[in-house]
Structure formats: structure tokens, C-alpha cells
Amino acid sequence: MNDKKRIFIVDDESGFTRLLKLTLEKTGNYLVREENDGTTAWLAAREFKPDIVFLDIVMPKIDGGEVARKIRSDPMLAHVPIIFLTAIVAERETLQEIGGFPFLAKPVSLEAITHCIEHHLPSPAAEETP
């Protein structure tokens, strides 16, 4: 189906990204791509053309902040919402932002992820699919 939202998850913990991918795809509403290497995340995002990006902050080689800057500086991706996923903050702090980006604290529930997607993306009924 072409009306599925494209979700891009970048996190160095492959077990986390795999579980989130399978859980989101099981709903039938999302097409999910996972990337476990921050150094290749920007190019993978250009190829995948996501509707929303969930991005870990603490990763080896390159941190999520740098990945977010690369995505934001790319005219093809500049409009895509980026949500940080991080274990370095407490749940009570998730109403705030990190570097101007909203974030969710890990561990994160499927309900929190889907609520975030619904909040940051228009509903499929509100837009026309080419």
C-alpha cells in the first residue's frame, strides 16, 4: 500500500530497532527502515525518503545531533520531523526539547511512538497519495 507512513529509526542498538520495526509494521500502518550506523544514516534517509525520523542521541562514531544536522541541511529532507529517542533523560523531561527537537525517553512504549507519529504527521485521510 502506498498510504503507509515511512518511519526511519536510527539507533546503534539493533535489538531495539528490530523490535520497534516489527511492532510498528505489525499495525499495518507503517513501512519502517532501521539503520544501526549513524555514519550512514543520512544517506540511508535520502534513499528511503521517510515521513518521520526517530533518532538516538548517543551512538558510536557520530552522535544523533550531528545526524540531525545533516538531515536538516539536506533540502530533500529538511522538512522531515526528527524525534530524538534517548535514555539519557528521564520520562518527566520529555515535554521539553533537545537542540530544538522533540524527544522521547527510552524505554519507550508503542503507544508513545504512535502518538508521536500521529502528532507530527497529518493523517492519511487528510492528504492525497500520488
Rg (CA), the chain: 14
Look up cell 534517548; give the residue. 86
Q: What angle do CA 130, 118, 8 make, to 5 degrees?
A: 70
- Give the 3-state secondary structure of residue 30: strand
Model pLDDT, residue 127 = 45
What is the H or E stretch that residue 82 is in? strand 82-86
Confidence tier at 108 by pLDDT (50, 70, 90)? confident
Q: Which residues contact 72 (CB under 8 A, 6 or more apart)?
A: 78, 82
Grid coordinates belonging to 67? 545526524
- Is residue 85 scored above 50 in pLDDT? yes
Question: What does DSSP say about strands 30-35 and 52-56: parallel, antiparallel, or unpaired?
Answer: unpaired
Q: Strand 52-56's sheet: what is its strand order? A: 30-35, 5-10, 52-56, 82-86, 101-105, 97-98
Q: Could you tell me the pTM of the whole model?
A: 0.84
- How many residues comprise the chain? 130
Distance CA 115, CA 122 (A): 12
pLDDT tens, position by position, 22-59: 999 999 999 999 999 999 999 999 999 999 999 998 89
Confidence tier at 15 by pLDDT (50, 70, 90)? very high
Domains of the chain: 5-120 (3.40.50.2300)
